[in-house]
Amino acid sequence: MIQAINLALTEMMGEDDSVLVMGEDVGVNGGVFRATEGLHARFGEARVLDTPVAESAIVGTGIGMAMAGLRPVCEIQFCGFSYLTMAQLEGHASRVRNRSQGKLTVPMVVRVPYGGGVRALEHHSESREASFAHFPGLKVVIPSTPRNARALLRSAIADPDTVLFMEPKHSYRAWREEVPEAPEQLPIGKAELVREGTDITLIAWGAMRRPAEQAAALLGEQRGATVELIDLLTIAPLDVETIAASVQKTGRCVVVQEAPRSFGVSSELVTVINDRALMYLEAPVARVTGFDVVTPGFSREKAYLPTAGRIADALAATLDF
């Protein structure tokens, strides 16, 4: 995935001179995860800017640049440091269009590696998509594979408003996928139907897509049940239509999120299903999540993160209800 993100940045900077990259160590060093490797040598220091360690200043400067006609792509090294950007995102980026009655917009992307699974330290493994999705006007996108990461990042950079692009860093180098030669873009706000099924709907996003796929396959082998798997890809705005149509068809649903259980995206999904598909349900909607604790360090990380086994158990229990 990290190479696909680098490819999208290279393509968009080559196609549009107004696109620039900024953040801590994104220049000569190529970024903490090497997402910007080679960009400084190719496009120069005027378009690949190393910044001080000041996350709020990075995003605040990006807002000014975007309102002046540029398309900045800001990198925040880890999700745990993205809280320092909240005032800029909520107070300015997400509401300039509304505040100016559409006369001004902020076409900016803020890239944030997030999530666990890489044995990182405290403040380096959080999954806080729900916090940002609560900001009206802010789009929150989460890719799950190399191919959709490249396509969605191209769409995010081309978007007329601010997009928070949250990258599951566990997927950066965990596995490979072919990416087409021709550039692709995917629509923001549209979920992907990963596999069709008739017995139960399974909803996941980001790094949780892989264990969800494994659990769906396991359930098919053990019980012959067919699972309809949906990858949200965009958290805000949410693709309510795809979710409702699937649950209306299957009558059962399990939601998987890496974040803590309470007040998260999975809670919003349960509400959406109640609003749109309550009379079709044959079992309560189940959730497989992290726990309501501070995201642990690497020694307890495996016990915290949802696994294919936990997801398969929830699918089986929902089918047996």
Q: Which residues are catalytic?
A: 124
How far apart (Å, rounded) are the C-alpha atoms in residues 36 and 268?
Answer: 34
SS3 content of the chain, % helix, strand, coil (to 5): 45, 15, 40
Q: How far apart are CA 205 and CA 142, in angstroms?
A: 7
Question: What b-and-e string marks burial along 291-312, b requiring 16 or more CB atoms within 10 Å of the CB?
Answer: eeeebbeeeebeebbbebeebb
Contact (Cβ atoms closer than 8 angstroms) between residue 84 and residue 132: no
CB 230 within 8 A of CB 205: no
Pick from 139, 154, 142, 155: nearest CA to 89: 139
Contacts of 42 (CB under 8 A, 6+ apart): 10, 13
Q: How far apart are CA 8 and CA 106, in angstroms?
A: 20
Beta strands in the chain (DSSP E): 19-23, 48-50, 71-75, 109-114, 139-141, 163-168, 192-195, 200-204, 227-231, 234-236, 253-256, 286-288
Instruction: Give burial (CB, 10 Å; 0-12/13-18/19+) of 252.
Output: buried
3-class DSSP assignment, residue 182: coil
